[in-house]
Amino acid sequence: MTRYGMVIDVNTCVGCYNCFLTCRDEYAGNDYPGYSAAQPMSGMNWMKVNEIERGQYPHVKVDHVPVTCAHCDSAACVTLDQTGAIYRREDGVVLIDPEKAKGNKGLVGLCPYRQIEWNEELQLAQKCTLCAHLLDKGDPEPRCVESCPSGALVFGDLDDPSSKVAALVASGTEVMHPEYAMGEKVTYRHLPKKFVAGTVIYGDVDEVATGIDVVLTGDAGSCTMKTNGFGDFEFEDLEDAANYTVEIEAPGYVAATLTTKTNRDIYLGEIVLQK
């Protein structure tokens, strides 16, 4: 049985906002009877992109996290809605019946991810439909996936072991709130965690220190990496708000030890080793 889902790879998302605008292009002012009423011409974000800037000058990167309805297998909105307006199809798509839902503002609060929005003009709760009206006509994917230029959005049948999306899920994906335990079918790879980075310098000769060992220690243990050709190191995918110690050793130099806490991504700056 087909069970539609999507995997979003944050590392591959370039932050082009194609998905955001494409969703609006499909739905703003366009009715799909039986599936969805039109979005208003502006204001709704069934697919939105969150921009997360990480680090401090000059060690900075930006992650973009597209967010949409996860069409959960055990969706809170389906479970809690007493009116039957929100329902899950056999293929896993979760829809809000635009007729049955009319006037019911209470539906908006049912999603802990806040993916249900209110259309004031139509007095209607609305959300992403996974472009079910297109899938049912034979399109291979929703429009957001179609317009993604980097391949960050992958869509398909989660129950088809040969599908790319199933393979990605098997390799390990995550959700933003595992504690909701709703069987989200839009899952993520590479959701941003925290990094600790720095640049090591040999103080006596004013050169970057390449290929030397840097050891990071936290509650979960230690790991080691070598500085690269720019003297940089970066430990990624670390815990949020955790304490870490960084130890840098180079033969002939006094070892350096720094401590930090990952309340945000940390660039420790230039760490100058002295003889």
Residues near other proteins (CB under 8 A) are 12, 14-18, 20-22, 24-26, 29-30, 41-42, 45, 51, 53, 55-62, 143, 146-147, 149-151, 199, 201, 206-208, 210, 228-232, 270
Least separation in angstroms between residue 175's CB and other proteins is 23
DSSP secondary-structure letter at 107?
G
Alpha-carbon span 204 to 274, nearest angstrom: 6
Residue nearer to other proteins on the CB measure, 57 or 178: 57
**Of 30, 31, 63, 64, nearest to 47 (Cα)?**
64
Residue nearer to other proteins on the CB measure, 15 or 183: 15
Asked if 83 and 110 count as a contact pair (C-beta separation under 8 A), the reply is no
Residue nearer to other proteins on the CB measure, 87 or 118: 118
Residue nearer to other proteins on the CB measure, 107 or 233: 233
Sheet of 221-226, strand order: 221-226, 213-218, 243-249, 256-261
Least separation in angstroms between residue 231's CB and other proteins is 6
Least separation in angstroms between residue 25's CB and other proteins is 5
Asked if 202 and 209 count as a contact pair (C-beta separation under 8 A), the reply is yes
Alpha-carbon span 159 to 5, nearest angstrom: 9
Least separation in angstroms between residue 239's CB and other proteins is 22
Least separation in angstroms between residue 91's CB and other proteins is 22
Residue nearer to other proteins on the CB measure, 40 or 183: 40
Alpha-carbon span 214 to 259, nearest angstrom: 13
